[in-house]
Amino acid sequence: MPHPTRRDVLKAGLHSGFAGAAVAAGTGAAATPAPATPAEIEGPFYPVVAQKDRDFDLTRTEGREGAALGTPVWVAGRVLDTDGRPVADAAVDLWQANAAGRYRHPHDPNDAPLDPDFQGWAVVPSGDDGGFRFKTVVPGSYPAGPGWDRPPHLHFKVTKRGYVELTTQMYFPGHPLNDADRLLLRHPEDERPRMIARVLPVADGNDGDGGLTRLAFDLVLRRA
């Protein structure tokens, strides 16, 4: 059975499904003021290769039957403003390394293998409730300099007219490399939790999540 496209997701209302669970787990249904998500550098490996397949499911690539290597996870949340109100129709841009720690970028010097079944990049619109959702794999760590291995992380860029563009990184909860990451540690201690995803309860497999680990990560924008 072909994996669903972005159009399928929007028609099925999945923006409000898992993303709604993320809201219930911590963001709250009512508008609650929140500080903006801390910004982070874009990094050197923003995708430059022409790529038509940028839908929400990074574990499959168009025209191939295989699935990406690694541990699959769902990542979802909402795009909000600092007053806690949803930001609809924002462009949520995600890119990351594959399970071996290699980016799909011609200048990545890492000699880890590429994965032809891993999409590596996705762009989706936020829903009416600000919700977004991705299926991906946990990226591998990789060497970033002498004595420094970057922990698994996802890159996000969020754009919407009337708001300050946000570029940030999402870290995986409990990973031991988080405690020594030079980028994460340069943020004030009270900012770091807002850059680390929250784990949600595992679903029963009957709601489309397939019993996979589910992570919640909201993106809070400042108005321009």
Cα separation, 194 vs 107, in Å, equals 30
List the one residue out of 73, 75, 68 whose CA is nearest residue 118: 68
Cα separation, 149 vs 144, in Å, equals 6
pLDDT at 14 over 50: no
Q: What is the pTM of this model?
A: 0.88
For 111, the token pair is: 């000699």
Give me the active site residues, please. 103, 142, 150, 153, 155
Other C-beta atoms lying within 10 Å of the C-beta of residue 13:
11
Give the model's pLDDT for residue 20.
53
Residue type, 66: G
Per residue in 23-76, pLDDT tens?
444 444 568 999 999 999 999 999 998 888 999 999 999 999 999 999 999 999
Give the model's pLDDT for residue 205.
56
Residues 38, 85: contact at Cβ < 8 Å?
no
Per residue in 105-152, pLDDT tens?
999 999 999 999 999 999 999 999 999 999 999 999 999 999 999 999
Q: How confident is the model at residue 12 (pLDDT cuts 50, 70, 90)?
A: very low
Domains in the chain with CATH codes:
6-31+40-221 (2.60.130.10)
Give the model's pLDDT for residue 30.
67
Q: Which residue has the higher pLDDT, 6 or 163?
A: 163
Q: Buried (b) or exposed (e) across 179-200, using 16+ Cβ within 10 A?
A: eebebbeeeeeeebebbbbbeb
